[in-house]
């Protein structure tokens, strides 16, 4: 049986993960309102959707109060009558190299922007999904234990990263408070490190930068040492997890979505070099503030309660990312 057609809002919808989510929602037959201000996103991410009658882009900053019914381009969706059924909240700056310059915008997105978006959910009684992050658990544990959703994270409110790390914890607290006070159905997806097509290039995110540097013959920079490792989740698996969580008949509480392997970034770089037949070499530099060695997810809850597991193997995800980069950058190379 086909799903009932819904009107869905995606904040941060022109971003890396958000644009893939918009595509998935359109393919599922829904009307999508994409909200973004392009602070760390690209219009090219949504160009293919702009002519779709079920898609509308609204450029706005969620840190400012907004009223969806005030936008004439949304009149065809009849929000004043039919309302909005779902809101996916992904809007928050995520730039490894520009993180220090965006700390105020990050703090505001996790506080004021969170409030404005939650108020929209209250107005329309919409089901709400917050795209949280693994950083709420704090740094990787020395014993290597995986993070469970019941674990309480230890983060530093005086750290230069606090606008993001503590901000994301506050954003979750806002969700739980609105759920308790207003009776909203709020889902919390804790995403671990995600990669794939449309990640920003030359921004310190190592996987896309590995690819473009290998293709152009530059050294691949690992911001860390040979032992820097992380979980890696392909973007379509992240999107599938969020959609499953949003559509679940019973709210399972916060759910982890991440890769199930601990992968050394240096090994990823070597795979990219081999895949692109590049003569580039690996070099190691001091870690960037935003690129920390994150912990690993315990995925039993996502598997048991949502039937979700990561499906895309690293080699396949890297190959798709390389192919995307070749096409979008106009590089001629056989792989």
For residue 305, give both structure tokens: 């309660």
What is the structure's pLDDT at 99?
75
Residue 330 has pLDDT above 70, yes or no: no
- Tens of pLDDT, residues 220-241: 999 888 988 899 999 999 999 9
Express each pLDDT in 8-61 by its tens digit. 999 999 999 999 999 999 999 999 999 999 998 999 999 999 999 999 999 999
What value does the mean pLDDT take over residues 86-91?
Answer: 98
- pTM of the complete model: 0.93
Which residue ranges form the domains of the chain, and what is each CATH number?
7-195+233-259+291-313 (3.40.50.720)
Question: Model confidence over 184-206: pLDDT tens digits?
Answer: 999 999 999 999 999 988 776 88
With a cut of 70, say whether residue 289 has pLDDT above it.
Answer: no
Query: Of the ranges 89-103, 232-246, 315-329, which one carries the lowest mean pLDDT score?
Result: 89-103
Q: Are 228 and 265 in contact (CB under 8 A)?
A: yes
* 272 Cα distance to chain centroid: 22
Q: Which two tokens stand for residue 329?
A: 């950058």
Whole-number pLDDT of residue 310:
97
In this prediction, residue 333 has a pLDDT band, given cuts at 50, 70 and 90, of: very low
**Is residue 335 predicted with pLDDT exceeding 70?**
no
Percentage of the chain lying above the pLDDT 70 cut: 95
Taking phi over 0 as left and psi of -120 to 50 as alpha, with beta for the rest, 285 belongs to beta
Residue 168 Cα to chain centre, angstroms: 13
**164 is annotated as an active-site residue:** yes
CB of 236 within 8 A of CB of 279? no
Higher-confidence residue of 205 and 215: namely 215
Mean pLDDT of 87-97: 89
DSSP, res 153: P
What is the spatial distance between Cα 151 and Cα 149, in angstroms, rounded to a whole number? 6
Token pair in block for residue 1: 């049986």
Confidence of residue 215 (pLDDT cuts 50, 70, 90): very high
Catalytic residue among 88, 137, 164, 234: 164
Q: Give the Cβ contact number of residue 334 at 10 Å.
A: 6
Find the mean pLDDT for residues 206-213. 92
| CA–CA dist 295, 197 (Å, integer) | 23
């Amino acid at each position: 049986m086909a799903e009932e057609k819904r009107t869905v809002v995606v904040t941060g919808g022109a971003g890396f993960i958000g644009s893939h989510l918009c595509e998935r929602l359109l393919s599922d037959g829904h009307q999508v309102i994409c909200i973004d201000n392009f602070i760390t996103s690209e219009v090219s991410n949504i160009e293919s959707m702009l002519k779709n009658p079920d898609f509308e882009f609204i450029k706005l900053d969620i840190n400012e109060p907004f009223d969806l019914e005030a936008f004439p381009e949304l009149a065809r969706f009849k929000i004043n009558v039919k309302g909005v059924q779902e809101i996916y909240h992904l809007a928050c700056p995520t730039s490894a190299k520009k993180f220090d310059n965006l700390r105020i915008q990050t703090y505001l997105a996790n506080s004021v922007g969170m409030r404005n978006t939650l108020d929209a959910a209250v107005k329309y009684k919409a089901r709400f999904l917050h795209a949280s992050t693994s950083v709420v658990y704090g740094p990787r544990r020395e014993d290597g234990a995986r993070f469970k959703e019941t674990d309480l994270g230890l983060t530093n409110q005086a750290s230069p990263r606090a606008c993001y790390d503590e901000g994301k914890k506050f954003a979750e607290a806002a969700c739980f408070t609105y759920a308790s006070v207003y009776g909203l159905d709020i889902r919390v997806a804790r995403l671990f490190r995600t990669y794939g097509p449309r990640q920003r290039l030359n921004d310190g995110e190592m996987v896309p930068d590995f690819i473009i540097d290998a293709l152009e013959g530059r050294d691949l920079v690992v911001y860390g040492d040979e032992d820097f490792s992380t979980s890696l989740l392909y973007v379509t698996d992240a999107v599938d997890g969020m959609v499953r969580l949003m559509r679940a008949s019973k709210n399972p509480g916060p759910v982890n979505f991440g890769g199930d392997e601990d992968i050394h970034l240096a090994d990823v770089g070597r795979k990219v070099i081999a895949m692109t037949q590049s003569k580039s070499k690996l070099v190691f530099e001091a870690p960037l503030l935003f690129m920390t060695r994150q912990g690993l997810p315990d995925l039993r809850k996502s598997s048991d309660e949502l039937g979700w597991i990561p499906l895309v193997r690293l080699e396949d995800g890297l190959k798709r990312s390389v192919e995307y980069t070749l096409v979008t950058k106009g590089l001629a190379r056989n792989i």
